[in-house]
């Protein structure tokens, strides 16, 4: 690794050099300050208050009460436990789907572009529309779409979204359907950077598709797989719209999630201090996952740091 040579520059010269850069940066800094950093900071402040929205001066400091209430809440453990289960199940159910599809599409000699589009199409559908369509597919009645298909192979009607065991996998299948196309394109782009001579040599040597995948493709994809795994977990911790639209957090507490609970506490119960505590907790968890992500990708490190 090369080391950059740091030379001490006269400060006035550096400021002159950088003033244009800061000028270009200023609009983004202002927007981020107003719409991201200030709300984040305000959330932290609110998490220590009994919030009066109508008159902020009447908000009172309550110390860590909101955090105590958050941890005491019967849905706290369930929400985070569900997030963990969603993350684990998603690795089993959905993580490898885009990889497999990318490998197959990459192997195609004809109509590769067509299949790229076909597999990407679900990602182009607005999530809410997709969820409503899947609600019809998961109709629990004997004449429901999926149940009718199942009946064709002798499987009795299932309560896809009403069964504690089935509800999480059912939601994850739906999410995989909606998301795997975009992820597949990332894998496909990575695969297309693969040195062709390496792959052709394996083909000439008679390696099967499985051998080529195992010894060439998967090792080559491994860094991308790791990064996308973290991105997937980041997304799963924030599951919200699916329980909101499909299950209302049930059956029982099976699909309660931190963001869904945060929404309920803030917008339905009007308990903004408690909701802020949930959001700070969520921010910390997402921050930790993001740090892992940044470490894995090397983003933020300059060549001189390496």
Task: Please report how close the Cβ of residue 90 comes to other proteins at its closest, in angstroms.
Answer: 22
CB of 62 to other proteins, least distance (A): 6
Burial of 243 (0-12, 13-18, 19+ CB in 10 A): buried
Which of 95, 244, 253 minimizes the C-alpha distance to 175?
95
Q: What is the 3-state secondary structure (H, E, C) of 33-52?
A: HHHHHHHHHHHHHHCCEECC
Give the number of other Cβ atoms within 10 Å of residue 192's Cβ.
Answer: 11
Nearer to other proteins, 65 or 107 (CB): 65
CB of 260 to other proteins, least distance (A): 10
Cβ–Cβ contacts within 10 Å for residue 200, how many?
A: 10
HSE-CB of 22 using CA atoms within 13 angstroms: 6
> Whose Cβ is closer to other proteins: residue 104's or residue 263's?
263
- From the list 108, 292, 297, the residue with the least C-alpha distance to 191 is 108
CB of residue 174 to other proteins, shortest distance in Å: 14
Q: How far is the CB of 173 from other proteins (least distance, A)?
A: 18
What is the closest distance, in whole angstroms, from the C-beta atom of residue 4 to other proteins in the complex?
A: 47
Write out the residues near other proteins by the rule CB under 8 A: 50, 52-56, 58, 62, 65, 68-69, 72-76, 135, 139-143, 159, 161-164, 246-253, 264, 266-270, 272
Smallest separation (angstroms) from other proteins to the CB of 270: 5
Residue whose CB is less far from other proteins, 43 or 106: 43
In whole angstroms, give the CA distance from residue 128 to residue 39: 26
Which of residues 182 and 251 has its CB atom nearest to other proteins in the complex? 251
Residue 174 CB: number of other CB atoms within 10 A? Answer: 24
CB closer to other proteins out of 184 and 280: 280
Give the nearer residue to other proteins in terms of CB position, either 19 or 268: 268
Nearest to 73 by CA among 239, 278, 242: 278
Nearer Cβ to other proteins (142/304):
142
Q: Are 260 and 240 in contact (CB under 8 A)?
A: yes
């Amino acid at each position: 690794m090369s080391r950059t040579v740091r030379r001490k520059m006269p400060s006035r010269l550096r400021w002159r050099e950088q003033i244009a850069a800061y000028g270009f940066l200023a609009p983004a800094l202002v927007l981020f300050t107003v719409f991201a950093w200030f709300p984040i900071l305000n959330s932290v402040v609110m998490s220590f208050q009994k919030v009066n929205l109508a008159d902020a001066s009447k908000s009172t400091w309550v110390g860590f009460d909101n955090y105590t209430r958050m941890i005491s809440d019967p849905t706290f453990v369930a929400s985070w436990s569900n997030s963990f289960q969603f993350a684990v199940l998603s690795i089993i159910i959905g993580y490898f789907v885009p990889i497999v599809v990318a490998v197959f599409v990459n192997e195609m000699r004809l109509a590769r572009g067509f299949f790229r589009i076909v597999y990407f199409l679900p990602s182009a559908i607005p999530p809410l529309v997709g969820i409503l369509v899947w609600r019809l597919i998961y109709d629990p009645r004997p004449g429901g779409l999926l149940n009718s298909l199942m009946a064709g192979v002798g499987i009795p009607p299932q309560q896809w979204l009403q069964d504690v065991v089935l509800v999480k996998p059912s939601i994850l299948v739906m999410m995989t359907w909606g998301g795997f196309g975009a992820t597949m394109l990332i894998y496909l782009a990575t695969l297309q950077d693969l040195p062709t001579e390496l792959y052709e040599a394996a083909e000439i040597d008679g390696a099967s598709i499985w051998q080529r995948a195992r010894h060439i493709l998967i090792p080559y994809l491994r860094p991308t797989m790791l990064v996308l795994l973290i991105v997937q977990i980041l997304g799963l911790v924030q599951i919200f719209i699916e329980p909101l639209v499909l299950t209302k957090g049930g059956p029982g507490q099976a699909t309660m999630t931190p963001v869904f609970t945060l929404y309920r506490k803030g917008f339905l119960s009007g308990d903004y201090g408690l909701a802020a505590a949930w959001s700070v907790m969520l921010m910390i968890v997402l921050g930790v996952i993001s740090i892992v992500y940044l470490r894995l990708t090397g983003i933020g490190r300059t060549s001189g740091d390496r």
